[in-house]
Amino acid sequence: MAESDLLARLSKSVLDLDARKLPPDIIQQTKLIILDSIGCALTTLDEHEVVEACEAIETTGGAPQATIIGFKGKTSVTNATLANGILVRYLDLNDFTLGVGKSGAVSIGGHPSDNIPVALAVGEWRGSSGLDVIASVIIGYDVFERMRILFDNKGQWDGTSVSGTVAAVMTGRLMGFDVDRMRHAIALAAMRSLTPRLVRRGHITAAKFLSNPLIAQTGVASTLLAGGGMTGPQAIFESKDGLRVLFSENADFNLLTTPVVSPYAVSLSHIKAFPCLATGQAEVAAAMEMHKILGGRTDHIESFNVIMADYPMVHDQQQEVARRYPDSREAADHSFYFLPAVTLIDGTLSMRAYDNARWTDPQVTALMAKATMSVDAAWNTKAPYGYPCALEVTLKDGTKHRTECAYAPGHSKGALDENAVVEKFERLTRDVLPDADRQKVRDLALGLDKLANISPLMDLLADRRRH
């Protein structure tokens, strides 16, 4: 049987992108997402699990090639990819995309910014220009989106399984690979990236935020091996003995080989306002409005109903028992019961909402017990391409109130709001960076395309932990 040329054609498509011809609006969009990702990373530096994980990674040593955001010194490029991936992903606060099925129903998208740590670590190590780092992120988003479209969301594998391929094309591009080395990097990375759906189901553990960083690290390591001449199976995607099981039955793999051109997938990105899952963003916004109406008097609530769009994925998430009774931080930030309850009490949802195992707090659990879940097909047409939510509260005296949010704060329709992204970055990093340094980081990130290399930015991000 003739060897498949799919990976060669995919490799050519990502290597053919001319960074100098990228549209200014797409460069701007990418810079905003990079700034947002940096903010998400910096705000986790006091989180116990993050510190423990990064310190464990530091103990493995490694050549001083790249920065772990917030930490002293440098570590190997693969270690930095893993550590920074954890930092960006831990709070579930980084950007997301939506999937849209043939019926128009919104389905599972993903978090392509999970792989921005690849571009930062490899770009710093290789002395890449800011524009080259931006181009690698744009390529990563395109490949992520193509693979997401082909992915079988009803199968047993988690969507992060595609990120080995994404990390490989980003790394190979920054390392200056030719088509031959790139195709083997993709094959090697893909074969080691399979991750079960269980990481996001049932009793949710640290594996939820670890899965993509571990896969990205594997993708970078596999690409380094390909750079040394190692080879991988070229039919890895199409063969039944390979990863064909990852993709839908009618997947057309030619989609992977189309040129990286407009409309760029990075334009599909949305920024999260709150540290929780994407489908919970509008729910939190609606609960914040209800808090204002009630003046925080949750003791007056008899019951409340959460009404979401009538999408299959929403049905699945609403009905999952583990989300009804969260028993970890990772489960709480995916719970449609915990999120509105704690927001109705606090008036907002911040990182501190999860402190002290708040999902076990009697006031919170009592309010969670008053929640019911439902869907309304009217939302599907009133707020297409979104995760809308209404909240209906019945008080003990029979009074009823309704709040709703069609599109959560941060939802983008092709272009992110720079002011909103900058405001979020300022809010997240106010206690981490002094004012002058915060402005320098912001200016360097938003001027990334003008930097000869990204070391000034990465150096500024180092050693930011409060000891």
Q: What is the DSSP string of 163-214?
A: HHHHHHHHHHHHTT--HHHHHHHHHHHHHT---BGGGGSSS--THHHHHHHH
Phi, psi torsion values for 23, nearest 5 degrees: -65, 140
77 shares its domain with 55: yes
> 467 in a domain, yes or no?
no
Per-residue pLDDT, averaged over 197-213, amounts to 91
Domain around 350: 278-405
Answer whether residue 403 shows pLDDT above 70: yes
333 shares its domain with 436: no
User: In this predicted structure, what is the pLDDT of residue 340?
Assistant: 98
213 shares its domain with 334: no
Tell me the average pLDDT of the chain: 94
> 18 in a domain, yes or no?
yes
- pLDDT tens, position by position, 334-350: 999 999 999 999 999 99
Give CA torsion, residues 271, 276, 277, 283, to 10 deg: -90
347 shares its domain with 286: yes
- pLDDT tens, position by position, 68-79: 999 999 999 999
> 411 in a domain, yes or no?
no
| Residue 412 to residue 417: CA distance in whole angstroms | 8
92 shares its domain with 20: yes
> Whose structure tokens read 């002395």?
127
| Residue 84 to residue 78: CA distance in whole angstroms | 10
C-alpha 233, offset from chain centre: 29
> 141 in a domain, yes or no?
yes
225 shares its domain with 332: no
Answer whether residue 427 shows pLDDT above 60: yes
Q: For residue 116, what is the domain's CATH number?
A: 1.10.4100.10
Query: For residue 448, what is the DSSP state?
Result: G
Domain total for the chain? 2
- pLDDT tens, position by position, 246-281: 999 999 999 999 999 999 999 999 999 999 999 999
Answer whether residue 2 shows pLDDT above 60: no
> 410 in a domain, yes or no?
no
User: In this predicted structure, what is the pLDDT of residue 1?
Assistant: 36
> 448 in a domain, yes or no?
yes
Please give the share of the chain, as a percent, with pLDDT higher than 90: 87
Answer whether residue 454 shows pLDDT above 60: yes
202 shares its domain with 296: no
211 shares its domain with 350: no
Phi, psi torsion values for 195, nearest 5 degrees: -130, 130
Q: For residue 335, what is the domain's CATH number?
A: 3.30.1330.120
> 416 in a domain, yes or no?
no
CA distance to 29, 94, 199, 277, per residue, from 130 (Å): 14, 21, 34, 30
User: In this predicted structure, what is the pLDDT of residue 107?
Assistant: 67
User: In this predicted structure, what is the pLDDT of residue 460?
Assistant: 98
> 413 in a domain, yes or no?
no
User: In this predicted structure, what is the pLDDT of residue 13?
Assistant: 98
316 shares its domain with 223: no
pTM value > 0.75: yes
174 shares its domain with 288: no
286 shares its domain with 375: yes
25 shares its domain with 64: yes
- pLDDT tens, position by position, 83-135: 999 999 999 999 999 876 555 567 667 899 999 999 999 999 999 999 999 99
